[in-house]
C-alpha cells in the first residue's frame, strides 16, 4: 500500500513538475531564440561592416564564424540581453564598429559584362566632357573623337564591377552604384583619369593644358575640403590647437587616403563616429594623451553611394546613353 502511495505521489509530482516547468521551458526557448536572433543580427552587423570595408561578400557567408570582439560587445551582448528587436529599436540598423575580420579569398566569380548596365556612369562622363568643352573650347571634330574614346572607356569600367568575391587589400571603401552594384574603385577618379588620357590624345597642347590645369585645381580643392573636414571631425573628439589642426590638414593632404567627399559627408552627419587616419598622419601631430583619447572613439569605415551626388545638371548629353 505504501509503495502504491509512493508511486502515486511520484507520478503526480512529476506531472506537476511538467506543468509548472512549462513557462520556464517556454522562457528558456524564447531566450534561446533571442540569443540565436542576436547572433544572426550580430553576423548581419558584421556583414554590414564587412560590406563597408570591402570584405562583406566573404563575411556575409561566414556569419557563424567568429566576429570581432568589439562588434560582438556592442551588438551581440545587447542582443543577447534584450533581444534583437529591442536592440534594433534602440540602436537602429546598419552601423557597427569598424573592425575587420580577415577576408577569406574565395575563387573569384566572373561577372558577365552583358549582365551589368554601366549607363549609370554616362551622366558623370558627360559632365567631364562638358568641362573639357568649356575650358578648352574644343572643336566639334575633337569632341566627336573624345566622345568615342569616352564611350569605350566607360565600357572598360566593367573591370571595376567584377569579378565578385575578389578580396580587397586593406581597409578600403567600397562605392556602390545603383541596384547596389559594387565598384571596387572610385568611379569619379577613374572617369577623370580616363578623361585626362583621351583629352591628351585629341586636344592640342594649349587646349590640354587649359583642361589639365582646371582638373588639377579641382583635385586640389577637393583634397583641401576633404582634409579640412577630416580635421574638423577630429576636433570634435579632441581639442586641437590651431597649429595642430593645420599640421593635420597638411599631413592629410600629403597622404594618399582612401577617402572621398561622398564618403566623408556621412561622418559629418554622424558625429559619434570618426574616420580612420593612418598613424603616419596623426603621429607627428597629436600628443600621446590625444592619441589615447582617440583610441576610444568609434572609428568606422562607411561605404559610399554614388547616388549621393545629386544630379541636377541637365547639360549636353555628349554620350546619348
Partner 1 sequence: MDRQMTTLLRQGRGPQVVVSACLLAVGILSLLPAPQASAQVAVRRQLSETQFDSWVFQGNINGKTADKAIEQRLELQLDYLNAMSPLTDEQKAMMRLAGEGDIKRFMRKVRYGRKVLKTIDASDNQAVSQAYQLARPLAQQFEKGLFGETSLFHKAFLANLSEEQSSAVQSAIEEQERADARAINHMLLAMVRRDVPMTQEQYGKLTDLLDEAVPRCPSKSNYALYYVGYFFSRVPDKALEEIFEGEELAAVKKHANRYQGYKNMLVSQGLMKDDE
Query: Which of positions 140-179 make contact with partner 1 (CB under 8 A)?
Result: none
Q: Identify residues 27-56 at the interface with partner 1 (CB under 8 A).
A: 27-28, 30-31
Q: Which triple of cell numbers denotes residue 254?
A: 600629403
Binding segment toward partner 1, per CB under 8 A, in 139-147, 199-207, 240-248, 251-259? 240-248
CA 55 to chain centre: 10
305 binds partner 1, rule: CB under 8 A: no
Q: Shortest gap between Cβ of 275 and partner 1 (angstroms)?
A: 13
Size of the residue set binding partner 1 (CB under 8 A): 83
307 binds partner 1, rule: CB under 8 A: no
Among 29, 36, 73, 206, which residue interacts with partner 1 (rule: CB under 8 A)? 73
Binding segment toward partner 1, per CB under 8 A, in 46-54, 143-151, 155-163, 210-218? 210-218
16 binds partner 1, rule: CB under 8 A: yes
The answer to whether the beta carbons of residues 45 and 71 sit under 8 Å apart is yes
Q: Shortest gap between Cβ of 69 and partner 1 (angstroms)?
A: 11
Nearest to 106 by CA among 58, 173, 162, 50: 58
1 binds partner 1, rule: CB under 8 A: no
Q: Shortest gap between Cβ of 151 and partner 1 (angstroms)?
A: 19
255 binds partner 1, rule: CB under 8 A: no
Which residue reads 589615447 in cell numbers?
Answer: 292
Q: Shortest gap between Cβ of 303 and partner 1 (angstroms)?
A: 17
Among 1, 24, 205, 320, which residue interacts with partner 1 (rule: CB under 8 A)? 24
Q: Please give the full DSSP string across 204-247, using - where no structure is assigned.
A: -HHHHHHHHHHHHHHHHHHHHHHHHHHHHHHHHHS---HHHHHH
205 binds partner 1, rule: CB under 8 A: no
* CA-to-CA dists, residue 155 to 191, 196, 199, angstroms: 11, 17, 17
13 binds partner 1, rule: CB under 8 A: yes
Binding track, positions 74-103, relative to partner 1; x by CB under 8 A? x--xx--xxx--x--xx------x------
240 binds partner 1, rule: CB under 8 A: yes
CA 94 to chain centre: 11
Helix%, strand%, coil% for the chain, nearest 5: 65, 5, 30
Q: Shortest gap between Cβ of 205 and partner 1 (angstroms)?
A: 19
User: Which run of H or of E encompasses 299?
Assistant: strand 298-299
Q: Identify residues 105-134 at the interface with partner 1 (CB under 8 A).
A: 127-128, 130-131, 134
Among 2, 179, 180, 314, which residue interacts with partner 1 (rule: CB under 8 A)? 314
Q: Identify residues 269-288 at the interface with partner 1 (CB under 8 A).
A: 269-272, 287
Query: Alpha-carbon distance 59 to 62, whole Å?
Result: 5
The answer to whether the beta carbons of residues 100 and 121 sit under 8 Å apart is no
Q: Shortest gap between Cβ of 203 and partner 1 (angstroms)?
A: 16
Query: Alpha-carbon distance 309 to 141, whole Å?
Result: 31
DSSP state of 101: P
* CA-to-CA dists, residue 181 to 103, 106, 160, 266, 306, angstroms: 20, 19, 10, 19, 10
Amino acid at each position: 500500500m505504501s509503495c502504491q502511495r509512493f508511486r502515486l505521489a511520484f507520478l503526480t509530482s512529476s506531472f506537476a513538475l511538467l506543468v509548472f516547468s512549462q513557462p520556464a521551458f517556454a522562457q528558456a526557448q524564447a531566450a534561446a531564440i533571442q540569443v540565436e536572433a542576436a547572433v544572426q543580427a550580430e553576423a548581419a552587423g558584421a556583414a554590414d561592416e564587412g560590406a563597408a570595408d570591402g570584405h562583406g561578400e566573404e563575411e556575409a557567408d561566414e556569419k557563424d564564424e567568429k566576429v570581432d570582439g568589439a562588434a560582438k560587445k556592442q551588438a551581440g551582448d545587447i542582443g543577447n540581453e534584450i533581444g534583437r528587436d529591442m536592440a534594433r529599436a534602440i540602436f537602429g540598423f546598419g552601423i557597427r564598429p569598424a573592425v575587420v575580420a580577415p577576408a577569406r579569398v574565395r575563387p573569384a566569380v566572373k561577372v558577365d559584362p552583358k549582365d551589368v548596365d554601366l549607363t549609370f556612369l554616362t551622366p558623370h562622363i558627360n559632365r567631364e566632357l562638358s568641362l573639357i568643352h568649356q575650358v578648352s573650347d574644343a572643336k566639334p571634330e575633337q569632341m566627336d573623337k573624345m566622345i568615342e574614346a569616352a564611350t569605350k572607356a566607360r565600357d572598360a569600367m566593367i573591370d571595376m564591377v567584377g569579378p565578385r568575391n575578389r578580396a580587397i587589400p586593406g581597409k578600403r571603401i567600397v562605392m556602390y552604384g545603383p541596384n547596389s552594384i559594387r565598384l571596387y574603385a572610385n568611379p569619379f577618379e577613374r572617369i577623370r583619369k580616363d578623361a585626362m588620357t583621351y583629352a591628351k590624345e585629341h586636344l592640342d597642347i594649349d587646349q590640354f593644358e587649359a583642361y589639365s590645369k582646371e582638373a588639377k585645381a579641382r583635385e586640389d580643392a577637393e583634397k583641401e575640403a576633404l582634409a579640412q573636414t577630416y580635421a574638423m571631425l577630429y576636433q570634435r573628439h579632441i581639442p586641437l590647437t590651431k597649429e595642430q589642426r593645420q599640421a593635420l590638414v597638411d599631413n592629410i593632404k600629403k597622404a594618399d587616403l582612401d577617402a572621398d567627399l561622398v564618403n566623408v559627408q556621412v561622418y559629418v552627419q554622424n558625429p559619434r563616429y570618426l574616420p580612420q587616419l593612418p598613424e603616419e598622419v596623426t603621429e607627428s601631430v597629436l600628443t600621446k594623451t590625444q592619441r589615447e583619447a582617440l583610441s576610444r572613439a568609434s572609428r568606422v569605415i562607411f561605404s559610399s553611394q554614388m547616388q549621393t551626388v545629386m544630379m541636377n545638371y541637365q547639360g549636353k548629353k555628349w554620350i546619348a546613353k
